[in-house]
Structure 1
């Protein structure tokens, strides 16, 4: 009889191995086969369809009796149902492991964690939740313990404890896949777009879990790696954006773009540096139509001094337009106007974060901020001791940010993901807010995002692209 076992992130087949099984490489001499663990469910289905008898020793999981008090909103229920409907084992017998697969894409603040917890309850199988940051690891673990009143394991943050419900960082899940890849029937991948990273893809490949749920606010990746994620987790089965939920479930919001002029000195320096860059492109017949074209320019800079000079000039021009003095002046006006609101200021550069922190006497959060200090700042922001925080990219995702209703983007990339994440930080439903109802859209129950852009610079094009 054919026997299926798990070893080091692979499913091994011993015995008379049929041909044409998905992902299986055969060894004719030993009459064995092997496949990445992600193929486990497909191999079982193929064997069942052919009527092949086999002993399955890959997953031997005890069911979990879990109960949740969550009441799902209508769209959360629709998302969960859409995911559950992908299960092709529903009518195949009691011994089959449930195998729904797919990604739910919902905006920040819409309660994706609730959907994940309800999915865990509905399937009732040992589950590994994978998250990108220690902050999210702690949040998920606390939520699971509170909701299910069970001990929750943890891979990451200095702990390596396995339980039927376990939370892991992407890094730790990757490192532990070989030895725990057969211990879970469901993978919940929070911020699943991270799975497209070259190393992290092995998390999807080396776990045998038939059921997989991806959660994200921004599924598509600029590098196209979302196609890889679909192969490992499943396609997007349910999608809503902020506009779909604004008013009923998320705050209504307005976007306000403000253009500021460079000072005379900034304009002269910007044009000089930008000219150096564009002159080199023209003389070298280089057209920057994609990221790969830019990478080619970076490669040239390693051997061509003129290419290096052009790249440095581009960087200096970018810093001028992103950190323009009149942006800071405009920010001063905005902060004065929104003294009664909760404001998050986003920049692209850490240096500007500290400059703004000193200028306006507001707390700064950067990649250099210790975790304890960051938690203290956000706690005081939540309770109202601080009304404003300024940050670079740290608060884009992976950290539970308290309610805010005004965001100011002083500078950023052209990434739609970054823009969506920053907007999502002010969209959580809050009911009545502080502020004047007639003050440019910041009244009760409404959020406001400002974009401050240096006029007549490349930043105008960047802002259009990210919108």
Structure 2
């Protein structure tokens, strides 16, 4: 063991990373595939190895020996024997239960059709007996009357069974076939419509290949994790060009739908007549259709069915792309459980879900197939260098009594809407006068007042789609230098020239949101980008900010905490 090594592995399967050790950056990158960051104070970051993190690693081809080797080479002290044994046992569970096809029927043309039933098989009598005794699984599984260690299940229960078995601690290796869908001759264009050559980056190609695989059992579904600004849309289009089939693309809002359509027309040989938009405004279904999650989850009454779920069956889709899969709405999980015969890819900057449903993404969309550290892409120049700064400001005296008597949730909002933040915002806008700046917040009242104070345009959920497109267009052209945006701009919005983001309020301690907001300013550019978070010091907002910083630490970003001095109008570095 080397006393200068950065990792301390503990018996409870937590890992301490000494950020000042010589190999700390190497260790951070090495941990990403199989460990999750929990805490990120100044000197020691805490990671944890979990069953789901190990199963994601196993599905990506990692073995227990490889993980043990990584830990051994980076550990300051001997790795506890119990931890290595637990890693071996946990990873061995992946693949102990397999899902395979029943004998396929013959179609009228003599071709093999997809089977109506599947088999859930295991070589272990103990696992077989555990599943046979499960009241939950009894609804879906029929033991083989021939006495083999396997169960029969209907194809429609394919996703639900995988979901339930993951909860029981048995990740299923799905080797059942996927249908090809209706063919569509689609190829990437040699050049964009602007005439600029289209170059697929090495990591984009590797991500697409990791998803498509050899088209054999166990391939064709999964999740790709890449930073905002790294070209996840290009990865999706590369997958489309490899599979050449009718494709349904689901994304977060109408602006993102329009961006996808624009990218498809810019970078593929698709004709406009091949692409449909399915939103609240327009409902056309074409060989490639781009829809919003919102329209799919709309229903006339609380207990009514979801009328637009029919979109999933409108055409013989051969591929479904879940953009920003970490935001997949709960009702859509119901449909994705049924659509297990369709190839599918989830695109995201972070698999963190605030509802804890990462396991559902693993089961229903697919395991993580490709991931790359943000700082690696920054080092290669594919995303911008970002300087992250938290600025702490004192609570406005007029709010002190109100804050003192408020409950926890009210305290957070009072601290978030602290009027004293305005001076900091003005100072930052002045310092970055020539840059394209986003001021991002959670509370509409706060943002509307701020927009009026600054004389800046504002985009919220209430802004009509046509007006949003006009404002975004003016911002891209440089006609607008400062734009105030609510959380609608967190997701899938391409603002390539934005180089400064000022976060004034957020969704409590959401790491997911932190990733999305940082991503708004990561398009490659000649100068560094700046990500500021203004926080009311010595308040509950400061506590939640510590959780949000976990994401920055996990990706290797250094962030400084500085203090705003109102009297001097200066930012004093180094104090909290």
**TM-score over 0.5 for the pair:** yes
Structure 1 residues without counterparts, runs of 5 or longer: 6-10, 49-55, 90-97, 274-312, 432-444
Q: Say which SS state the counterpart of residue 456 (structure 1) adopts.
A: coil
Match of 2:250 in 1: 130
Match of 1:78 in 2: 206
Alpha-carbon offset, residue 113 of structure 1:
0.4
Match of 1:420 among 500, 506, 515: 515
Contact 2:250–2:321 (CA under 8 A) maintained in structure 1: yes
Match of 1:449 among 531, 553, 556: 531
Which string of whole-angstrom CA distances, capped at 9 and with x for unpartnered residues, describes residues 233-275 of structure 1?
A: 21111112432222411111111121111233322332232xx
Match of 1:145 among 265, 284, 288: 265
What TM-score do you get using the length of structure 1 for normalisation? 0.74
Match of 1:164 among 258, 264, 287: 287
CA separation of 1:73/1:335 partners in 2, compared to 1, >3 Å: closer, same or farther? same
Q: Say which SS state the counterpart of residue 183 (structure 2) adopts.
A: coil
Structure 2 residues without counterparts, runs of 5 or longer: 1-102, 108-112, 123-136, 145-151, 163-173, 191-197, 298-307, 550-576
d(CA) in 2 for partners of 1:206 and 1:18? 14
Contact 1:37–1:207 (CA under 8 A) maintained in structure 2: no
Is 1:228 the counterpart of 2:360? The answer is yes
d(CA) in 2 for partners of 1:21 and 1:317? 53
Match of 1:401 among 495, 514, 537: 495
Alpha-carbon offset, residue 26 of structure 1:
6.9
Contact 1:135–1:400 (CA under 8 A) maintained in structure 2: no
d(CA) in 1 for partners of 2:367 and 2:153? 28
Which string of whole-angstrom CA distances, capped at 9 and with x for unpartnered residues, describes residues 63-88 of structure 1?
A: 53534334211221221222233743
Which string of whole-angstrom CA distances, capped at 9 and with x for unpartnered residues, describes residues 311-348 of structure 1?
A: xx334322321121221111111111111111111122
* Residue pairs, 1:8-19, within 5 angstroms: none
d(CA) in 1 for partners of 2:120 and 2:330? 28
Match of 2:385 among 252, 257, 275: 252
Contact 1:4–1:13 (CA under 8 A) maintained in structure 2: no
Is 1:337 the counterpart of 2:458? The answer is no
Alpha-carbon offset, residue 399 of structure 1:
2.8
Contact 1:12–1:35 (CA under 8 A) maintained in structure 2: no
CA separation of 1:18/1:375 partners in 2, compared to 1, >3 Å: closer, same or farther? closer
Match of 1:263 in 2: 396
Is 1:460 the counterpart of 2:542? The answer is yes
Alpha-carbon offset, residue 219 of structure 1:
1.4
Please report the RMSD computed on the Cα atoms of aligned residues, expressed in angstroms: 3.3
Alpha-carbon offset, residue 223 of structure 1:
2.1
d(CA) in 1 for partners of 2:543 and 2:354? 17
Match of 1:199 in 2: 331
Which string of whole-angstrom CA distances, capped at 9 and with x for unpartnered residues, describes residues 205-224 of structure 1?
A: 23354321110112121322
CA separation of 1:376/1:210 partners in 2, compared to 1, >3 Å: closer, same or farther? closer
* Residue pairs, 1:268-307, within 5 angstroms: 268-273=401-406
Match of 2:233 in 1: 113
Match of 2:475 in 1: 381
d(CA) in 1 for partners of 2:374 and 2:360? 26
d(CA) in 2 for partners of 1:47 and 1:356? 55
Q: Which structure ranks higher in relative contact order (CA pairs < 8 Å, sequence separation ≥ 6)?
A: 1
Q: Say which SS state the counterpart of residue 222 (structure 2) adopts.
A: strand
Equivalent pairs, count: 386
Alpha-carbon offset, residue 422 of structure 1:
0.7
